[in-house]
Amino acid sequence: MKTKLSAGSKTLSALMVSAGILFAPATFGLAPVHAAAASVAGLPDFADMVEKVGPAVVNIRTTERRLLRDPNMPDEDEMQEFFRRFFGGQFPQPRRDGQQQRGQQRRAIPQQEQEVQRGVGSGFIISADGYVLTNAHVVAGADEVYVTLTDKREFKAKVLGSDTRTDVALLKIDGSKLPVLTMGDSNKIRVGEWVVAIGSPFNLENTVTAGIISAKARDTGEYLPLIQSDVAVNPGNSGGPLINMRGEVIGINSQIATLSGAYNGISFAVPIDEAMRVADQLKKSGKVTRGRIGVSISEVTRDVAESLGLKSARGAEVSMVEEGGPAAKAGVRAGDIVIKFNGRDIEKSGDLPRLVGNTAPNSRATITVWRQGQAVDLPLTVAELQSDEPEKGARGERGGKQKSESAANSLGLQVSDLSAADKKELGVTGGVRVDAAGGAAGAAGIRENDVLLQLNNTPITDAKQFQSLVIKLDPKKNAVLLVRRGDVARFLTLRPAPAAR
C-alpha cells in the first residue's frame, strides 16, 4: 500500500505541476521549484520608482458654472399651466416684446449660480513653482480647474494655454517647493521596454499601471507621431505621465483605441519632447505658432511610385495647392510628390505637416518635389497657420464642353480639350476633360467632368496628344493618371485593356 500510495502521490503531484499548480515541498516531499523562483526574481519591481515619482502626479478636476433657479419656486410656464387647468386660462399672459403689461410687474424667478463638476483627469508637475502639464481635452470648456496633490492639498489652477492639435495644455498653480517629475528623451525610447502610467482612472487617484512600449511614431495625431503602449489607460488617466524605469517622463497619456470606451489593450501618449516644445510656447505667449505652406496631401502608393520612377513608396502626394499660398507662389503643382523639406526626407505624408509646422512663420525654406521623373528644388516663404483654419471648398467646373476629340481608348476614356476659360479658371496650361469613363477608368473612380492633367510622367496638353500617349501604354504595366476634381487632384492607378485581335 505504501508503495502504491507513494506512486499515486507522485503521479498526482506530477499532473498538478504540469497543470501549473505548485505546492510547498514539505507537503508532498518534492524538491523546490527553482525555475519558478528565478522567473519571479527576474520581473521588474516598480515600487521604489513609483514611491519617488508619485507625489508629482496630480488629480485634475474641472467644473462649470450653471444658473439654477430655486427648486421650491415654480417657473412661469408651470404657473400658466396651473391657471389654464383650474381657472379656464384667465391668467394674464406676458407681453411677447419683453415689456411689462400696464400696472403689472413680472415676478422674477429667483436664480442662483452653482458650480457643478464637469470632468476628471490627470496631470503632473514640471516645475517646483507650480507649472503643470495635462491634455488640452481635460480642461476644454471648463470654468474652473482644480489640482489636487497626493498630500490632499488642493489648488485652483490657471490655464495658461492649450493646443488642441497636440492635445497639450499648460496650467499654473500657486505653490513653491512642489514635487517635480524629471523629463526623459522620447527619441531614445525602445519598443519592448517597460513603462508605467500613473493617473486617476474613474477618479481613483494615483492608480499605477504598467506595460511595455508597443510601437513608436504611430500616425494617429495630426502633428505628432504618438507612442503606443499596452499600459492600462482608462477615462481619467488622460493627461497623466507615461514613465520609464528610470522615473523619467517620456509621454503624456492621451488616447486609447477602444470599441467600448474603456481600455482595450492599446493606448497612446504624446511624446514628451514635443509636449515640452508646445509647453514652452504656451508659457511665453499662451498659444502655439506653426508654419504652413498651403497644400493638401495624401500618401504615395506603391503603384504610383513605380509608375513615376520613384524607388519606393515615399513622400507626400500634393492633391491641392491653395491659390496664392506659399506653395503656389513657389511653383508647387497638384501631382507633385514632396520628397524633402529643408533637406529632410519625407518618408510618409504625415512627416510634411510636422516639419512645416515646426518651421517659424516668415522664414525661408526649400521644398523638393518629384516631377516628371526628376527632383526639383523650390524655394518658398513659410506662412503662419491660423487656429482651426477652414479648408477651401471645391470650385464648380465652368465653361462649355469642347467637342470630343477621341473615342473610348484602352483606358475606357473619352476626352475633349479644355476651353481657354476652363484653363484660366483651373489655373492650368493643359489637360483634358473627361466626357465619358468606362472600363479601367470607370473602375478606378474616374467620372464625367474630371480633368486629366498627367499620364505617368508626361503632362497632358490636349486630347490628341493624350490619345497618342494612351496608344503607347504597355497593357502589362499599370499606368497612373493625375485626375483633378474641383480643387483636388489625385493620382489614380489603372491597367490598360489589351488590344483587340
Strands 182-183 and 248-256: parallel
238 is catalytic: yes
Grid coordinates in use for 135? 491634455
Chain centroid offset of residue 448 CA: 34
**Whose grid coordinates read 495647392?**
321
**Which residue out of 13, 127, 137, 230 is catalytically annotated?**
137
Q: Is 437 exposed, middle or buried (0-12, 13-18, 19+ CB in 10 A)?
A: buried
**Cβ 233 vs Cβ 216: under 8 Å:** no
User: In the chain, what is the straight-line distance between the N-terminal and C-terminal CA atoms, in Å?
Assistant: 92
**Which residue out of 163, 167, 336, 450 is catalytically annotated?**
167
Strands 207-218 and 226-229: antiparallel
Strand ranges for 334-429 from DSSP E: 337-341, 344-345, 364-371, 374-381, 383-385, 413-417
**Which residue out of 162, 186, 238, 410 is catalytically annotated?**
238
In angstroms, the CA 497 to CA 438 distance is: 11
Element (H, E) at 6: helix 2-18
In angstroms, the CA 130 to CA 126 distance is: 7
Q: How many CA atoms lie within 13 A of 443 on its CB side?
A: 9
> Which residues neighbour 377 within 8 Å (Cβ) at sequence distance 6 or greater?
366, 367, 368
Catalytic site residues? 137, 167, 238
